[in-house]
Amino acid sequence: MNDASAAPGSFWDARGLASWLFTIDHKRIGLLYLWCVLGFFIVGVSLGLLVRLELIAPGRTIMGPQTYNAMFTLHGVIMIFLVVIPSIPASFGNIILPLHLGAEDVAFPRLNMFSWWLYAIGAVTALAALFTGDGPPDTGWTFYVPFSAVTTTNVSVAVAAVFVLGFSSILTGLNFIVTIHRLRAPGLTWTHLSLFAWALYATAWIQLLATPILGITGLLIIAERVLDMGVFDPARGGDPILYQHLFWIYSHPAVYIMILPAMGVISDIIPVFARKAIFGYKTIAFSSLAIAFAGSLVWAHHMFVSGMSDTAVMVFSLLTFVVAIPSAVKVFNWVSTLYKGSIHMEPPLVFALGFIFLFTMGGITGLVLGAAGADMHVHDTYFVVGHFHYVIFGGTGMGLFAALHYWLPKVHGRMYNKRVATWSAIILVVGMNGLYFPMYLLGLAGMPRRYYDYLPQYTALHEASTVGSWVVVAGLALMFVNLWRGMRSGPRVGPNPWGAATLEWTLPSPPPTHNFPVEPVVERGPYDFRGVRADD
């Protein structure tokens, strides 16, 4: 990383740990997030692999049931709260948003640094939950009551960690909203905003409005455990279903915190490598807001079998179908942009295509789950596990990897090996289908989720899935080694290796500390490629 400063005055120039830990430069803060997210991703993947290994055969394979429960809980908590939620918005959102706006930094640089510190404190608290108290939590990442209120494992500390992490997310959202409203360069109207910025804007509203509910719910769990409150405990007049409502009122919108930024990345990548203005700019921009809004109304589709009136079930099922429309509109517009485009099959596009395929596989099974009747059959089975992995690993994960391949040359001023990158994308897509497709079949056949053991008839599909997990790891290893090598010693690149038209590509790679030497005046849209040339 140290020799990445090709351009004089690059943001890499300041040296020393303190210049990073106390930085208020949005690019550096974004990188701090990125390194943490990738580090925790590797931890989370390792836990997932161990869980998968245990499931390769019926009976005990490598661990006992209590360890198994702790493992999948940690896997879920780390992946959701430390990896996926901050992944693209906190890392690439920070690095790229001010560049897309032609701004010097975000609106509140110090608050931005504070958000990262809260993230770090939350992460340390989550780790502390492992090594203190009576063992790591074993509730699953949803912390459902009544079990989370009575288990002796270290639930309170883990929930406190989630509380702190939530504040980090809220403050980042607030910062982005103000930044987008106030810091756009002259001429950068709302309709000249990049679709990545639009996606971050919609995401930020969810972060700001939905996350407080998670914080309060977490506090209530702690109160239940420490003070014997009786909000959720039926023996004291509480209501466990209330917990599920509160939890999902945050956690369903949270899945859009996970996916919208990835959709923004894809919307920015596709036109660049199709050399064509994006089809339906306004529909894509508006659909982000529509998803954020409608997505806040569908939480109870997680609770079709928890006990609700038939009317409520029907309303939430219908609303779930409604929220699928804006997602499908985006997929339609991406494909239409590619149609008759002049396609450049560069690695970011390959990852983007992987995203479209895997996300669509996850989205369609989401409709199966949203149909209340079908959900009765597959609720809490492996079908659900298959669905959300297609969406969050196949969607958000591939979106993050696409972003890494798209923006690494800008951030480091160097290029990775493109052939190896393409192969890693292909191996990942193959591996994810091997890992997660059998889960759909398992779920349809009745295999429940979160089970340590299973009947012999499920063995073949579990074996296939575990083998798939090894292919995924091979793809990840190849990809990370290639990116690492590229950023250390890849060939140097100029300002605009892809021939893209958004503002970051007008700066040297890597960009200078204060971004734009003169404030840019914007006269064209972000996907107007007339007169834009790629270096060499």
Q: Which residues bind ligand HEM (CB under 6 A)?
A: 45, 48-49, 51-52, 72, 75-76, 79-80, 84, 140-141, 385, 389, 392-393, 396-397, 435, 449-450, 469, 472
Closest approach, Cβ 450 to ligand HEM, in A, equals: 4
Nearer to ligand HEM, 323 or 400 (CB): 400
Q: What phi, psi does 276 have (nearest 5°)?
A: -155, 140
CA distance 188 to 473: 42
CA-based nearest residue to 176, from 262, 282, 88, 266:
88
Closest approach, Cβ 221 to Cu ion, in A, equals: 20
Closest approach, Cβ 324 to Cu ion, in A, equals: 11
Identify the sign of the CA torsion 46, 52, 57, 61: positive
The entry of ligand HEM, Cu ion, none near residue 80 (CB within 5 to 8 angstroms by kind) is ligand HEM
Peptide bond into 261 cis (omega under 30): no
The entry of ligand HEM, Cu ion, none near residue 392 (CB within 5 to 8 angstroms by kind) is ligand HEM
Nearer to ligand HEM, 73 or 94 (CB): 73
The entry of Cu ion, ligand HEM, none near residue 45 (CB within 5 to 8 angstroms by kind) is ligand HEM
Q: Applying CB under 5 A, does 387 fall inside the site for Cu ion?
A: no
The entry of ligand HEM, Cu ion, none near residue 461 (CB within 5 to 8 angstroms by kind) is none
The entry of Cu ion, ligand HEM, none near residue 454 (CB within 5 to 8 angstroms by kind) is none
Sole residue written with tokens 């919609």:
202
The entry of ligand HEM, Cu ion, none near residue 230 (CB within 5 to 8 angstroms by kind) is none
Nearer to ligand HEM, 77 or 408 (CB): 77
**Is residue 173 a contact partner of residue 259, using CB atoms and an 8 Å limit?**
no
Residue number with the shortest CB distance to Cu ion?
A: 252
Among the residue ranges 252-260, 371-379, 486-494, 513-521, the one whose residues contact Cu ion (CB under 5 A): 252-260
Peptide bond into 495 cis (omega under 30): no
Give CA angle at 74 (154, 215), nearest 5°.
Answer: 65
Outline where 228-346 has alpha helix (H). 240-274, 281-294, 310-338
Beta strand ranges found along 17-120 (DSSP E): none
Nearer to ligand HEM, 27 or 52 (CB): 52
CA distance 282 to 280: 6
The secondary structure of 414-461, three-state, reads: ECCCHHHHHHHHHHHHHHHHHHHHHHHHHHHCCCECCCCCCCHHHHHH
The entry of Cu ion, ligand HEM, none near residue 379 (CB within 5 to 8 angstroms by kind) is none
Nearer to ligand HEM, 72 or 498 (CB): 72
| Summary count for the chain: helices (H), strands (E) | 18, 0
Closest approach, Cβ 77 to ligand HEM, in A, equals: 8
Nearer to ligand HEM, 10 or 87 (CB): 87
Nearer to Cu ion, 27 or 252 (CB): 252
The entry of ligand HEM, Cu ion, none near residue 300 (CB within 5 to 8 angstroms by kind) is none
CA distance 103 to 107: 9
Closest approach, Cβ 75 to ligand HEM, in A, equals: 5
Nearer to ligand HEM, 141 or 416 (CB): 141
Burial class (CB in 10 A: 0-12, 13-18, 19+), 178: middle
Closest approach, Cβ 149 to ligand HEM, in A, equals: 17
Nearer to ligand HEM, 418 or 450 (CB): 450
Nearer to ligand HEM, 333 or 360 (CB): 360
The entry of Cu ion, ligand HEM, none near residue 252 (CB within 5 to 8 angstroms by kind) is Cu ion
Q: Applying CB under 5 A, does 379 fall inside the site for Cu ion?
A: no
CA distance 265 to 96: 11
Closest approach, Cβ 81 to Cu ion, in A, equals: 17
The entry of ligand HEM, Cu ion, none near residue 48 (CB within 5 to 8 angstroms by kind) is ligand HEM
The entry of ligand HEM, Cu ion, none near residue 450 (CB within 5 to 8 angstroms by kind) is ligand HEM
Give CA angle at 507 (185, 174), nearest 5°.
Answer: 45
Closest approach, Cβ 398 to ligand HEM, in A, equals: 10
Burial class (CB in 10 A: 0-12, 13-18, 19+), 175: buried
Closest approach, Cβ 431 to ligand HEM, in A, equals: 8
**Is residue 383 a contact partner of residue 478, using CB atoms and an 8 Å limit?**
no
Nearer to ligand HEM, 25 or 54 (CB): 54
CA distance 34 to 38: 6
Sole residue written with tokens 């804007």:
201
Report how far apart, in Å, the C-alpha atoms of 87 and of each of 110, 392, 397 are. 20, 11, 9
What's the DSSP call for residue 60?
Answer: -
Stretch 204-243: interaction string toward Cu ion, x if CB under 5 A: ----------------------------------------
Q: Applying CB under 5 A, does 252 fall inside the site for Cu ion?
A: yes
The entry of ligand HEM, Cu ion, none near residue 469 (CB within 5 to 8 angstroms by kind) is ligand HEM
148: Cβ–Cβ under 8 A, 6 or more apart, which residues? 137, 139, 155, 159, 221, 225
Nearer to ligand HEM, 102 or 137 (CB): 137
Among the residue ranges 59-67, 249-257, 343-351, 459-467, the one whose residues contact Cu ion (CB under 5 A): 249-257
**Is residue 203 a contact partner of residue 84, using CB atoms and an 8 Å limit?**
no
Sole residue written with tokens 């640094």:
113
Contact footprint for Cu ion (CB under 5 A): 252
